[in-house]
Amino acid sequence: MEIILPKFGLFFWTIVIFLIYYFIIAKYAWKPIIASIKKREESIQNALKDAETARQEIQKMNELTEKIHKEALAEKNKIIKEAEELANQKKQLAEQEAANIKAKKLAEVEQEITNMKNSAISEIKNLVGSLSVEIAEKILKEQLKNPKEQEAFAKSELDKINLN
């Protein structure tokens, strides 16, 4: 049982040595340990402040980025809308120009058809007139084979012309 219960001398010297170490540590080591703990605490506080500042800056940057993104998206949509409007205007202009060209070509073709028709009618009239004269000539030649008949016919025609 002696091992379990310490003797008074052992207990006394243990407390004395503990108090000596405590005073030595308190006098020489306690201040530097407390200073280093305070320094560490201050550096942790500073790190927390810096982290909070960085978090706020990141939040501001995110807000700014979001704002810039929204502005860019709005600008993109505006540019797309303007491009679509310009494309529609050019399309309408091209369609109108094509319609004008078509109308002009149609008018030219109609005029050309009219000119060709008039030319053909004139040619047909000239041909009919020339054929009529040839037929009349052939008929008169056939009817007026002898000279007396020719003279009588010529006199009657002259009388008709002089009367008119």
Inside any domain, residue 18: yes
Mean pLDDT of the region 36-58: 95
pTM: 0.43
Average pLDDT, the chain: 87
Inside any domain, residue 40: yes
Inside any domain, residue 5: no
Inside any domain, residue 142: yes
Residue 137: per-residue pLDDT: 78
Q: What span, in angstroms and rounded, lies between the C-alpha atoms of 75 and 81?
A: 10
**Amino acid found at 64:** L
Please tell me which residue, 126 or 146, carries the higher pLDDT value: 126
Inside any domain, residue 4: no
Q: What span, in angstroms and rounded, lies between the C-alpha atoms of 164 and 160?
A: 6
Q: Is the pLDDT of residue 138 over 90?
A: no
The secondary structure of residue 144, as a DSSP letter, is T
Question: Which residues span the domain enclosing 115?
Answer: 11-163
Residue 108: per-residue pLDDT: 92
Residue 163: per-residue pLDDT: 57
Q: Is the pLDDT of residue 152 over 80?
A: no
Q: What span, in angstroms and rounded, lies between the C-alpha atoms of 11 and 9?
A: 5
Burial of 28 (0-12, 13-18, 19+ CB in 10 A): exposed
Q: How many domains does the chain have?
A: 1
